[in-house]
């Protein structure tokens, strides 16, 4: 016993002598979507509101504030802007370095992980792109279908030299693990089916963290390309960050995917979220928006008083590059990075400036969430024409009527960007305009759906709206921003219908039935007659919608044929063909849908948000189908309009 006590005492003395405190900063970018420059290629103008060349200044400042820091990227990097489109069209040969990696290499990133959009161009393109990164990548839940082993390095433990508070050098073993939404198997089925499988995010991290600790990790950092939801835990959930914070041994969560900002007031009501400290269930966590508009910063203080490194203090914040309230920049350009990207930037501007046709009218998406809209109409026109031509050689398919489904992609972001609207001016059209009208590199897929399924498809789309109380004179918000993504608000062209927003939604934002007796879709007709529930239709859509299987009439069993062409290319070709045939396109909406009139004894105060610009105000005055008037501007900068739905 005496011997044991002496040994213990010696150990304690040694630990005391070697005790040290280290401050470690972890910085994060996420969902950059190839927005390297502070430039809006759709409008062909510079911007102060996004772009890694501005985030870089925050990175440099944040590094200079501390002795020890690392920098990570959370994915959705190689897709999402005209720069990405240019590189995809150009192709990546062996030895080529994608411009995004020219930028990230310059900024000396420590580690990266994959987002869902990394898989949009296929595994070969992804492999060639990743070869240009001078830093390692981790992903633990994408599995090689052949070997049954992780397709990528699941986690990494890096020996990192740091300086403690006494100025002495120490070595921290920092562990990094990455995960991506399992939904990539549906979203990019054509690229991934038979090649990979994907495991659940939470269970994957729960499996590997103890292993990382056993192998010596002093700190475990989770790079989760996943959003934050307080919904009850479900296996294979898309947004799993909340449940990652409950896993023992996780010290920091760097997340994204949702294009939102944490810590932030939008998450204040989530149990366990401290938006002052930036923690989830006590674990520091950060989600820095999108396109480089914020830098995520997690600060950890570690002590090895016990002979083992432990986190003693932690906090997180998201630093913006632009002050929305005061309309001023908070970050200058990084001149070195601008020079690094100059050649690719110039080539991208040239690429998107290629003429493809002409338009007889302007195309703006300011009203796309409240009435039929020309920016969605032209996409549906193009998709419908493509399919009708395609099926001429197939007698079975040619017998079926063709419908087309398209959603507005640029209508204020996720109610976080009042400048994010389609603005295509009449006159000459370029590829830039086609990319503005259709943001994503989706491919055109055709599904076979019954009249009943078409109706249910539209019922899910109608979840875009909040329920309006016809007996209340209080202000009521029309758009369901929190519970429904606008890119799921499909307009199906080829049928006519009304949406009754006084009824409760039949489905939630994930197309899960929540009110079996609710019906918002009214007066659904085809060729002037009530739609036959048993009639079969071909519906043109995109690979995300077709393979996702959430909407009625979608999923593997409904696929009629998969086109090799991107929806955006189909749109550009249609613009060119129509311009040759008729001199220009005529993008007027055909008004096949509208919000059903609301009968009320008193005047209702129904409101929606849109662009605050004078251009938007003029367009709304000229094109609005209902009486509308501006009543306010919210704290983000959106204009708030009152709309009269009594007629």
Q: How far apart are CA 620 and CA 595, in angstroms?
A: 16
pLDDT digits 0-9 by tens, 459-512 = 999 999 999 999 999 999 999 999 999 999 999 999 999 999 999 999 999 999
Q: How far apart are CA 641 and CA 631, in angstroms?
A: 6
pLDDT higher at 390 or 321: 321
- What local confidence, expressed as pLDDT, does residue 325 receive? 87
Quick one: tokens of 601? 């004894």
Instruction: Tell me the HSE value of 50 on the side-chain side, using a 13 A CA sphere.
Output: 23
pLDDT digits 0-9 by tens, 559-598 = 998 887 899 999 999 999 999 999 999 999 999 999 999 9
> Inter-axis angle of helices 567-582 and 374-390, to 10 degrees?
90
| Contact between 201 and 237 (Cβ < 8 Å) | yes
- What local confidence, expressed as pLDDT, does residue 189 receive? 87
pLDDT above 90: percentage of residues in the chain: 91
pLDDT digits 0-9 by tens, 290-310 = 999 999 999 999 999 888 999
Mean of pLDDT values over 525-530: 98
- Is residue 15 predicted with pLDDT exceeding 70? no
* Residues in CB range of 452: below 8 A, 6 or more apart: 533, 534, 552
pLDDT band at 18 (very low <50, low <70, confident <90, very high): low
- What local confidence, expressed as pLDDT, does residue 149 receive? 98
- Is residue 351 predicted with pLDDT exceeding 80? yes
- Is residue 8 predicted with pLDDT exceeding 80? no
- Is residue 243 predicted with pLDDT exceeding 70? yes
> For 241-250, 373-382, 392-401, which range has the lowest pLDDT when averaged over its residues?
392-401
pLDDT digits 0-9 by tens, 353-370 = 999 999 999 999 999 999
- Is residue 17 predicted with pLDDT exceeding 60? no
Count CB atoms within 10 A of the CB of residue 291.
Answer: 27
- Any idea of the CA torsion for 447, 451, 455, 460, to the nearest 10 degrees? -20
Phi, psi of 540 (to 5 degrees): -80, 130
- Is residue 195 predicted with pLDDT exceeding 90? yes
- 559-566 and 443-450 beta bridge pairing: antiparallel
Task: Name which of 111, 172, 175 is nearest 302 in CA terms.
Answer: 172
pLDDT digits 0-9 by tens, 126-139 = 999 999 999 999 99
- Is residue 49 predicted with pLDDT exceeding 90? yes
Quick one: tokens of 312? 């003693």
> Beta strands of 420-515 (E only): which ranges?
423-424, 427-430, 443-450, 475-477, 491-493, 496-499
- What local confidence, expressed as pLDDT, does residue 527 receive? 98
> For 49-63, 552-566, 623-637, which range has the lowest pLDDT when averaged over its residues?
552-566
> For residue 34, how far is the Cα from the chain centroid?
13
Domains and CATH numbers, the chain: 18-347 (3.60.21.10), 354-643 (3.90.780.10)
- What local confidence, expressed as pLDDT, does residue 515 receive? 97
- What local confidence, expressed as pLDDT, does residue 1 receive? 41
- What local confidence, expressed as pLDDT, does residue 2 receive? 42
Mean of pLDDT values over 47-60: 98
- Is residue 93 predicted with pLDDT exceeding 90? no
Q: How far apart are CA 345 and CA 353, in angstroms?
A: 13
Quick one: tokens of 632? 């306010």
Residue with tokens 């309006």: 468
Mean of pLDDT values over 88-100: 93
Q: How far apart are CA 375 and CA 383, in angstroms?
A: 13
- Is residue 430 predicted with pLDDT exceeding 50? yes
């Amino acid at each position: 016993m005496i011997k044991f006590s002496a040994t213990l005492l010696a150990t304690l003395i040694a630990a005391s002598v070697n005790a040290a405190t280290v401050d470690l900063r972890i910085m994060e970018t996420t969902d950059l979507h190839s927005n390297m420059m502070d430039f809006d290629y759709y409008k062909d103008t510079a911007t102060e509101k996004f772009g890694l060349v501005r985030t870089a200044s925050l990175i440099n400042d944040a590094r200079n504030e501390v002795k020890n820091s690392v920098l990570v990227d959370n994915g959705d990097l190689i897709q999402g802007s005209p720069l990405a489109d240019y590189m995809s069209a150009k192709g990546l040969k062996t030895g080529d370095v994608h411009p995004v990696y020219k930028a990230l290499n310059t900024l000396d990133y420590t580690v990266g992980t994959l987002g869902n959009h990394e898989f949009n161009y296929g595994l070969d393109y992804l492999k060639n792109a990743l070869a240009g990164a001078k830093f390692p990548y981790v992903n633990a839940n994408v599995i090689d279908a052949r070997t049954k082993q992780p397709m990528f390095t699941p986690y990494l433990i890096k020996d990192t030299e740091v300086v403690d508070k006494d100025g002495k050098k120490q070595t921290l073993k920092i562990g990094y693990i990455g995960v991506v939404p399992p939904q990539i198997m549906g979203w990019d089925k054509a690229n991934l089916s038979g090649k990979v499988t994907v495991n659940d995010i939470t269970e994957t991290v729960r499996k590997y963290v103890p292993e990382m600790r056993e192998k010596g990790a002093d700190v475990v950092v989770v790079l989760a390309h996943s959003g934050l939801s307080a919904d009850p835990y479900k296996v294979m959930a898309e947004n799993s960050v909340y449940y990652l914070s409950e896993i023992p041994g996780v010290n920091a969560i760097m997340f994204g995917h949702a294009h939102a900002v944490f810590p932030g007031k939008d998450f204040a009501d989530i149990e366990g979220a401290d938006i002052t400290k930036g923690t989830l269930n006590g674990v520091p966590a950060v989600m820095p928006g999108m396109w480089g508009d914020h830098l995520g910063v997690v600060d950890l203080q570690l002590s090895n008083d016990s002979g083992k490194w432990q986190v003693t203090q932690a906090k997180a914040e998201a630093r913006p590059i632009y002050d929305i309230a005061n309309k001023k920049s908070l970050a200058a350009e990084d001149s070195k990075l601008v020079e690094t990207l100059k050649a690719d930037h110039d080539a991208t501007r040239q690429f998107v400036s290629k003429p493809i046709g002409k338009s007889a009218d302007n195309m703006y998406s300011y009203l796309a969430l409240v009435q039929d809209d020309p920016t969605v109409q032209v996409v549906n026109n193009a998709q419908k024409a493509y399919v009708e031509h395609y099926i001429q050689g197939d007698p079975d398919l040619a017998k079926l009527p063709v419908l087309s489904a398209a959603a507005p992609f640029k209508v204020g972001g996720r109610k976080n960007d009042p400048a994010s609207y389609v603005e295509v001016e009449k006159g000459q059209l370029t590829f830039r305009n086609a990319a503005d009208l259709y943001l994503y590199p989706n491919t055109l897929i055709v599904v076979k759906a019954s009249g009943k399924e078409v109706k249910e498809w539209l019922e899910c789309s109608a979840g875009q709206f909040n329920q309006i109380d016809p007996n209340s004179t209080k202000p009521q918000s029309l758009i369901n921003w929190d519970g429904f993504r606008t890119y799921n608000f499909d307009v199906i062209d080829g049928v006519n219908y009304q949406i009754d927003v006084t009824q409760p939604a039949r489905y939630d934002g994930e197309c899960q039935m929540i009110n079996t007796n609710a019906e918002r879709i009214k007066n659904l007709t085809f060729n002037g007659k009530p739609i036959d529930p048993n009639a079969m239709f071909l519906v043109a859509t995109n690979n995300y919608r077709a393979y996702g299987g959430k909407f009625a009439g979608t999923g593997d069993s409904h696929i009629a044929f998969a086109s090799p062409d991107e929806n955006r290319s189909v749109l550009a070709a249609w613009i060119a063909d129509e311009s040759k045939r008729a001199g220009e396109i005529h993008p007027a909406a055909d008004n096949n849908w509208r919000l059903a009139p609301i009968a009320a004894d008193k005047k209702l105060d129904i409101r929606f948000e849109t662009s605050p610009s004078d251009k938007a105000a003029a367009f709304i005055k000229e094109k609005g189908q209902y009486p509308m008037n501006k009543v306010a501007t919210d704290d983000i900068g959106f204009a708030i309009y009152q709309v009269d739905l009594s007629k």
